[in-house]
Amino acid sequence: MHFLKAITLAALLGTAVVNPALAGKSDDTLRVAFVEEILELDYNYTTKREYIIIADLIDENLFEINPETNAFEPAVATGYEYIDPLTIEVKLRDDVTFHNGQKLTARDVAYTYNWIIDPESESHPGPGHATWLKSAEVVDDYTVRFHLLNDYPLAIRDLATRVSIRPENTYHVDGKVVRNAAALEPVGLGPYRVASFKPGQELVLERYDGYYSNSPKGDVPIENIVIRTIPDIGTQQAELMSGGIDWMYNVPLDVAQSVQGLPMVEHLSGPDLRVSFIVLDAAGYTDPDGPLTNRQVRQAMNHAVNKADIAQYLVGGTAEPIHTPCHPAQFGCDTSIQDYPYDPELGRQMLAEAGYPDGFPLDLWAYRERPMAEAVAADLEKIGIDVNLRYVQLASLDQARANQEIPAYIGTWGSGGTADTALIANIHFNATTDRNLSGDEKLTELVLAAEATSDQDERRRLYTEALTIIADEAYWVPLVTYSVNYLVNSELNFPLNADGLPRLYSASWK
C-alpha cells in the first residue's frame, strides 16, 4: 500500500527527484544497450550477433582472426602445425587461466572439441565441425592434436571462431549430461568475467585480472561493462541523451542522423560483412515456365535496380553497391565478374526482347529493411514488372522458401563476420540448401570443391568460376553491403573494424 501511495504522489506532484544511474567514465563502466534479449551466455549454444559480441568478451578461441588483415593469429594457442594433411597439432600457452583461476590445459581443449562434435551435445557449432573434425587428442599438457575426417582448408578458421573453450567436464555434472551447464555462469578465458546475469534484462561484466598478457585483444581499458536490453530504439536514444547508456548499435540511419549534432552523442558508421541481394527462382520451382527461368529477364532485373542510391540514401555510412554474390572484402570474392550497371531503359528493352513487353506480375518476398524492399519494388516496376511486395516475418519467409513457394526474395547474409566467400557460397549455392534457387548442379560442385582443398590459389580459382556463372546467368540481383550505425557517448573512443563486429573490449574513455 505504501508503494502505491508513493507512486500516486509522484504521479500527482511530479516532484520526485531521483538520480538516474549516469553512464560515463566517472565509474569506469561502459553501459551498453541491446534491442535483443540476452537469454544465455554460452556461445556453444547460441547463434545471434549479440551473442558473438558477448562471447568475444568472456571467451577465447585457440586463434583469433585479425579483423584488418584477416590473418590467423595465435590466441590461447601459440601456433599450429600440419603433421599430415589430416592431423593438425596445436600448441597452447602455459599462462592462461579460466575465470575460476584454473589453468588451461590440453585436456580442456580436447574435451571441449570432442563434446562439441558429439551429437549428444546438440551444440550449435557441432553439425558444422563434425563435417571435418574426427576427434581431438591430448598429447601433453599443452599440446592437442586435431584429427580430420578429410582435407578441410577452413580448419584453422574454424579453430579461430565459433567454439568457446570450457573447463574439462563442464557439460558432465555428476556423470550426467547437462547441456545448459554454462548458460548462466560460463567459466571462460576472456578479458571479462560474468559478475551477474539476469536473463533478458541485464548482464554485468567485470575485467578479469588474470587475463593472459599479450593476447590479440590486448589490455582492456574499461573496468566494467553493463549490457541491458532496451527493446525500444527511441528509449535507447533517450537513455543515451540523458547519460543512462554509452553505446547503442544497429541504429536506423534516420535516428542516428537526427541526434548526431548533439554534443553528448557521437554517430559512428562502420563497415559490415552483411550483404543484401535478391534471389531469383531461375530453376522454376514455383513456375517451371515462369519469366524468371529466362536468363534475359533476370539480367533485365539486374539493370533495373538503382543500388547506388539504395546504398547512399537508405543504408548510409560505409554501404556500397555490389555486383558480386559475396562481400568484396571476403577471400575469393572476385569483383571482376559481370556487372549490370543501373540502366532501366536497357532493362525494359531486354524484358521486351525476352517476350515480356508488358512486364509480368511478381511476388517479391522480404523480411527486413522495408524501405529498401520498397525501393527495389519501385525500381522493378519502372521496367514494367508488377511487384506484389510480400513483407513478412523471417520465420514465414523461411517456411515458404522451404516449401518452394517463393519466386524471388530479398535476402541478407552476414557470414558470421568471417571474410571468406565460403561462408556465403555454401549456404546459398549448395544443392542441399533451400536458398539455392538456381538449380545449377555445376555451382554445387564448385563450392564444395573449393572447401575440399587447402590450396588457396585453387580455392580462389574455383570461386571465380562459380561467381562468374552466377553473374553471367544472373541468378541473383546483388544489392548492397551494409553499414552499421552506432550512437555512442561522445567521451567514448570506439574503434571500428572492417568485419563489422563491434569489439566492446577495445573501447576506452577519451
Positions of E strands within 185-282: 192-198, 202-207, 224-229, 247-249, 265-280
Q: Is 472 in the site for other proteins (CB under 8 A)?
A: no
Indicate the residue among 134 and 435 with the shorter CB distance to other proteins. 435
Question: Are the beta carbons of 391 and 369 closer than 8 angstroms?
Answer: no
Query: Which residues face 390 on adjacent strands?
Result: 365
DSSP-derived secondary structure letter, 504? G
Q: Is 11 in the site for other proteins (CB under 8 A)?
A: yes
In angstroms, the CA 281 to CA 285 distance is: 7
The three cell numbers of residue 257 are 542522423
Q: Is 158 in the site for other proteins (CB under 8 A)?
A: no
DSSP-derived secondary structure letter, 292? G
Q: Which residue from 137, 343, 381, 398 is in contact with other proteins, where contact means CB under 8 A?
A: 398
Indicate the residue among 234 and 288 with the shorter CB distance to other proteins. 234
Q: Is 196 in the site for other proteins (CB under 8 A)?
A: no
Q: Is 20 in the site for other proteins (CB under 8 A)?
A: yes
In angstroms, the CA 332 to CA 460 distance is: 5
Torsion, Cα 258 259 261 262, to 10 degrees, reads: 150
Identify residues 287-346 at the interface with other proteins (CB under 8 A).
none
In angstroms, the CA 187 to CA 369 distance is: 37
Indicate the residue among 275 and 319 with the shorter CB distance to other proteins. 275
369-to-109, 255, 374, 392 alpha-carbon distances in Å? 41, 14, 9, 11
Q: How many Cα atoms within 13 Å fall on the side-chain side of residue 235? A: 9
Q: Is 166 in the site for other proteins (CB under 8 A)?
A: no
Q: Nearest approach, Cβ of 21 to other proteins (angstroms)?
A: 8
Q: Is 490 in the site for other proteins (CB under 8 A)?
A: no
Q: Which residue from 3, 209, 358, 441 is in contact with other proteins, where contact means CB under 8 A?
A: 3
Question: Are the beta carbons of 365 and 397 closer than 8 angstroms?
Answer: yes
Q: Is 231 in the site for other proteins (CB under 8 A)?
A: yes
Q: Per CB under 8 A, which region of 137-145, 195-203, 284-292, 457-465 contacts other proteins? A: 195-203
Q: Nearest approach, Cβ of 332 to other proteins (angstroms)?
A: 19
Q: Nearest approach, Cβ of 116 to other proteins (angstroms)?
A: 13
In angstroms, the CA 133 to CA 131 distance is: 6
In angstroms, the CA 265 to CA 247 distance is: 9
Count CB neighbours of 135 within 10 A: 14
Q: Which residue from 21, 71, 139, 173 is in contact with other proteins, where contact means CB under 8 A?
A: 21
Q: Which residue has the cell 531503359?
A: 345
Q: Is 263 in the site for other proteins (CB under 8 A)?
A: no
Site pattern 408..427 for other proteins (x: CB under 8 A): ----xxx-x----------x
Q: Is 241 in the site for other proteins (CB under 8 A)?
A: yes
Q: Per CB under 8 A, which region of 153-161, 278-286, 398-406, 479-487 contacts other proteins? A: 398-406
Question: Are the beta carbons of 380 and 353 closer than 8 angstroms?
Answer: no
Q: Is 40 in the site for other proteins (CB under 8 A)?
A: yes
Site pattern 362..391 for other proteins (x: CB under 8 A): ------x-----------------------
> Which residue from 389, 424, 418 is spatially nearest to 498, judged by alpha carbons?
418
The three cell numbers of residue 486 are 552506432
In angstroms, the CA 334 to CA 467 distance is: 7
Q: Nearest approach, Cβ of 6 to other proteins (angstroms)?
A: 6
Assign residue 217 a region (left: φ > 0; alpha: ψ between -120 and 50; beta: otherwise): alpha
Q: Nearest approach, Cβ of 23 to other proteins (angstroms)?
A: 12
Q: Is 180 in the site for other proteins (CB under 8 A)?
A: yes
> Which residue from 87, 89, 160, 98 is spatially nearest to 125, judged by alpha carbons?
160
Q: Which residue has the cell 536458398?
A: 435
Q: Is 78 in the site for other proteins (CB under 8 A)?
A: no
Q: Which residue from 24, 199, 328, 371 is in contact with other proteins, where contact means CB under 8 A?
A: 199
The three cell numbers of residue 260 are 548526431
Q: Nearest approach, Cβ of 426 to other proteins (angstroms)?
A: 9
Count CB neighbours of 503 within 10 A: 17
The three cell numbers of residue 152 are 578441410
Q: Per CB under 8 A, which region of 165-173, 249-257, 393-401, 464-472 contacts other proteins? A: 393-401
Indicate the residue among 45 and 80 with the shorter CB distance to other proteins. 45
Indicate the residue among 98 and 476 with the shorter CB distance to other proteins. 476
Q: Nearest approach, Cβ of 15 to other proteins (angstroms)?
A: 8
Binding site for other proteins (CB under 8 A): 3-4, 6-8, 10-12, 14-18, 20-21, 37, 39-40, 47-49, 122, 124, 127-128, 180, 183, 198-201, 228-232, 234-235, 238-239, 241-242, 244, 368, 393-396, 398-399, 402, 412-414, 416, 427, 432-434
